[in-house]
Amino acid sequence: MIDHFGINCADMPAARAFYDKVLGVLGHSRVMDFEEAVGYGTEQPVFWISAQPAQGPASGPNREVHIAFTARDAATVRAFFEAATSVGAEVLHEPRLWPEYHPGYYGAFVRDPDGNNVEAVCHTGGE
């Protein structure tokens, strides 16, 4: 059900140091690092920390959460996107391939009614 999730952090250097240490004890490490976002896991990133934006829904005390739900294929990602937008979800990113994450990463991102970043993703490409 859950593919990965992420939280926003007000102090990225402190958050990196904290999660490097505590997740290391549990057998996890940084598997992706984009400076403003770091993904932790064993083989693929499952838990992300990101720099808190200065403005927008993620900037206040109730910062947005990012959660990605696993979709079985690209058609299901598109169906998720269509269902979300049909009930008024704000579009963050339309369905597409995200090769910067890894080959075959196909996802769509919307904002839920509470301002959270919700994604559906498959790892089988865009077909």
23-37 tens-digit pLDDT: 997 899 999 999 899
pLDDT: is 76 or 61 the higher one?
Answer: 76
Residue ranges of domains in the chain: 1-63, 65-127
> Quick check: pTM over 0.95?
no
Domain 1-63 identical in fold to domain 65-127: yes
Dihedral class, residue 95 (left if φ above 0, else alpha if ψ from -120 to 50, else beta): beta
Which residue from 70, 77, 65, 73 is spatially nearest to 118, judged by alpha carbons? 65
Residues 6+ positions from 83 with CB-CB distance below 8 Å:
none
DSSP conformation class of 102: -
CATH architecture of the domain with range 1-63: Roll (3.10)
CATH architecture of the domain with range 65-127: Roll (3.10)
pLDDT of residue 58: 62
Reported for 84-87, long-range contacts at CB under 8 A and 24+ positions apart, including other chains, are 84/108, 84/110, 84/118, 85/110
